[in-house]
Copies of this chain bind each other. A is one copy, B any other.
Amino acid sequence: MPKLDIEAYLSERKALIDRSLERYLKQSEQRPRTIVKAMRYGVLSGGKRLRPILTLASGELFGAERKQLLLFACALELIHAYSLVHDDLPALDNDDFRRGEPATHKLFGEGIALLAGDALLTEAFQLMSRPEAVRSLKPGLVLELIYDISRAAGADGLVGGQAVDLEAEDKQADTAAVEHIHARKTGALICVCAKVGAKIGGATRQELRRVERYGGYLGLAFQIADDIMDAAGHGGEGRAGSEKKKATYPSVAGLGAARKRARELLDRCLKELDPFGKDADPLRAIARTIVERAL
C-alpha cells in the first residue's frame, strides 16, 4: 500500500457520505416540507463526517464492501446530527451557532428543531431496517447492529452522558468525572462507529475487542482535543459561545495537562492497531488527524 494521503482520503469519503445523506434525506410527497428542510439543515449544513468515515475505514480493514457499510455509516451520522440539534436547544446548551452557522432552532424555531431532531433519530432506525439493508447482510446481523447502536445512543451511552453533563454544569468536577461524561457523551457513539464497521467486515471477537478499545480511547481523545481547540480559541466542534459552563478536561486540569492526556490516549489508541499492520493505516491517520490538530 502506498503512503496514505489522508487529506485526499478524508475528502473523498466525506463526499461519498454527503452524497448518500443527500439521497437518503430527499423530500418526499408524504413528508411535510418544513420538517424535511429542518432535518436536511441539521445534517447537511456542515460536519466533517468523521463518524461515518470511521465506520467505512473499520469495515474496509476487515474486507467489508462499501455498499454493506453505507447505510449504517449514514445512520450513525444522523444520530450524531440529531444529538447536536437537540444539544443546541435552549433547554440544553443554548447555542445560537453551530460550526459558524445559525443553529437549527435559530432558523426554524425551537418546536420544529425539537421535532427535526426526533425525526432524524427515528430516521436512523428506519434507514438501518429498510429492505435494502438485508440485501447484502444477514437479518440477524442487522438486528445486532441496531441493538449495538441503540445502546450506544441511548441512556447507556450518548443520552446518558448528556444527562450527567447537564447535571454537572456549574459544579466542581475532577478529571475522572469529566472522562466519565466524555466516555458516554462522545466515546460511546465513536466507539460503536468503529465496532459496526468491524462487525460488518466479519472481525473475530478478539479483533472486535481491539477495535472497540481503539474507538474508546479515540472518543475520549477526540473530546479532549475538541475542548482544547475551543479553549485555545481555534474552534472545536462547537462549544465555544455556549452560555452554560461545562466541565471540560482543559477547564479542570489546564491546557498543558489536557494536551498530555490527549497524546497519551492517542498513543494507546494507535497501539491497539499494531497487529493489523499497514492495513490499518487509514484508522491510524484518522485518529492522528482528529487528535493532533489540538496538540
Contacts and interface: CB of A to CB of B under 8 A. Distances in A.
Contacts of A155: 31-32, 35-36, 39, 119, 122-123
B115 A159 contact: yes
Contacts of A111: 91-92, 166
> How many A residues touch the partner, as a band?
35 or more
A150 interface: yes
A110 B34 CA distance: 24
Contact of A129 (B91, B115, B143): B143
Contact of A143 (B36, B105, B143): B143
Nearest to A147: B129
A163 B32 contact: yes
Contact of A166 (B91, B115, B162): B115
B160 A147 contact: no
A89 B118 contact: no
Interface in A2-22: none
Given A92-B111, A155-B123, A134 B143 contact: yes
A212 B91 CA distance: 38
B122 A154 contact: yes
Main secondary structure of the interface of A (DSSP, over half): helix
A89 B91 contact: yes
A89 to B, nearest CB: 7
Given A31-B156, A156-B31, A122 B121 contact: yes
A111 B244 CA distance: 12
A157 to B, nearest CB: 9
A31 B160 contact: yes
B32 A164 contact: yes
Contacts of A105: 91
10 contacts: A31-B160, A32-B160, A32-B167, A39-B155, A86-B114, A91-B105, A92-B111, A125-B146, A129-B143, A133-B143
Interface of A: 28, 30-32, 34-36, 39, 82, 86, 89-92, 105, 109-115, 117-119, 121-123, 125-126, 129-131, 133-134, 138-140, 142-144, 146-147, 150-151, 153-156, 159-160, 162-164, 166-167
